[in-house]
Amino acid sequence: MRESGDALVLLLAGGIGSRLNLLVGHRAKPAVPFGGIYRIIDFSLSNVMNSGLTRVGVLTQYKPLSLMAHIGDGSAWDFTGRTRGVKILPPRTGELDSDWYKGTADAIRQNIDFILANPSEQVVVLSGDHIYRMDFDAMLSYHQHKRADITIGMMVVPKSEIHQFGSGIIDNENRIVDWEEKPQVPRTNLASMGIYVFDTPYLLRTLERNRKEVDFGMDIIPRAINEDRVFAYPFYGYWRDVGTVQSYWETNMDIIRENSGISPEEWEIRPNPEYGGRPMDRAPARFLSCSQVSSSLIAAGCVIEGTVINSVLSPGVRVKKGAVISNSVIFEDCVLEEGARVDLAILDKRVQVGSGAVVGHGDNLTEVNKAYPKHLYTGISLVGKEAKIPGGVSIGRNCIVNYSYNEDNFHGKNFLADGDSA
């Protein structure tokens, strides 16, 4: 019987994540806060831990410092000890800029020495920017039962979304017989989750075979389907790619929505409570006599004097008397002064909203953001880290307030999605 610990995990955490806009301006996408006390990568790391896998390489690239600090020595996920560990694997830069990771397969290829230094029967390749729970031990057993060279985690998605994913056509034994990478006219609704199991010798031979093959979905998988044994591993649980502002906001809202399928506590997802030297397990949240809270997640350290509706608040948020937060995601240590209002917005860390100021003013949701029409188009506004919105200022829908903005950056009282004051 196979032991989970025999498999080596390579976790891809280097994508630029540009569709999350200013949320990834100072951090890697997997390091974006999520669900009050977590980071996105906590879900993949916890799934690895809960599956009994003990050796992990995390492949970083863009803005890796916050991610590296968050992972630390891996002790938050029990990855410390003689036979277990987590290692950060940056690109092998130093000779040429082109030595940066060119794709998923190239990233693994550049770390063949790590694979050789950690002998294993199988290699599990994951993405660090998805929200889900999965038992990789069961997937590894399935892979062996099928005598597969490659096994790909796959699930049914709406056909309207299949253009975002690799998609596979399978036979009655779940063997993949054809493949389309991000098809505009799909023939199937079976999407790749970006989760792969490879037999280690097969992976090493494949990576050495043609160094021009830099991506699994575009290059290696289509060829392997024609020549080798490639199977789909069907997944039926909750899984979300939170790569856009809209999907990120919706997935946070799922946490506070009944019967949505997501439950980080039941899934045994672990955060790093000591990240950055500021403990996330602070004193309990305080709800003063004038506070009103409904359908919301309130993390430790929050002080609520005002009203919070249908929102997710990270540790240390202060909502003062008469202030209202609704339909929003608020990061650590933000402050809403008296009478401030925030609706349908995402506030990064340590934002201050002045007395009587409004973020998310108006009900016209058709005015998309002029600079980023594909990022902000449903009314969600973004406020960057450590921005200070002066009292009385009104920010409209689909707006962006950049990092560290303060009263010197505001020359009027009303701001719209095109960035101009009105």
Q: Once rounded to an integer, what is the mean pLDDT over residues 38-46?
A: 96
Tell me which residue of 270, 149, 194 sits closest to 13, measured CA to CA. Answer: 194
Rounded to whole angstroms, how far apart are CA atoms 364 and 89? 46
Q: How confident is the model at residue 233 (pLDDT cuts 50, 70, 90)?
A: very high
Q: What percent of the chain has pLDDT over 70?
A: 92
**Residue 2 pLDDT > 50:** no
Rounded to whole angstroms, how far apart are CA atoms 28 and 41? 10
**Residue 49 pLDDT > 50:** yes
pLDDT tens for residues 80-97? Answer: 888 889 999 987 654 444
Q: Give the DSSP letter of residue 297.
A: E
Token code pair at residue 234: 């069907």
> What pLDDT is stored for residue 160 in this prediction?
85
Backbone angles phi and psi of 341, in degrees to 5? -135, 135
Write the single-letter amino acid at 111: N
The CA distances from residue 22 to 57, 194, 240, 372, in Å, are 27, 25, 20, 11
pLDDT tens for residues 136-195? Answer: 999 999 999 999 999 999 999 988 888 888 899 999 999 999 998 888 888 899 999 999
Q: Once rounded to an integer, what is the mean pLDDT over residues 349-377?
A: 90
pLDDT tens for residues 98-109? Answer: 557 778 899 999
- Cβ-proximal residues to 227 (8 Å cutoff; 6+ apart), any chain: none
- pTM exceeding the 0.85 threshold for the entire prediction: yes
Cβ proximity of 195 and 234 under 8 Å: no
> What pLDDT is stored for residue 1 in this prediction?
39
> What pLDDT is stored for residue 421 in this prediction?
44
- How many other C-beta atoms lie within 10 A of the C-beta of residue 372? 18
Q: Can you point out the beta strands (E) in 316-413?
A: 318-319, 324-326, 329-330, 335-336, 341-343, 345-347, 352-353, 358-359, 381-383, 388-389, 394-395, 400-401
| Residue count of the chain | 422
pLDDT tens for residues 191-232? Answer: 999 999 999 999 999 999 877 888 898 899 999 999 999 999
pLDDT tens for residues 239-272? Answer: 999 989 999 999 999 999 999 999 999 999 999 9
∠ CA 281-285-288, nearest 5°, is 165
Q: Once rounded to an integer, what is the mean pLDDT over residues 358-379?
A: 87
Q: Once rounded to an integer, what is the mean pLDDT over residues 335-350?
A: 97
Strand, helix or coil at 40?
Answer: coil
Q: What percent of the chain has pLDDT over 90?
A: 70
Average pLDDT value over all residues in the chain: 90
> What pLDDT is stored for residue 278 in this prediction?
58
Q: How confident is the model at residue 273 (pLDDT cuts 50, 70, 90)?
A: confident
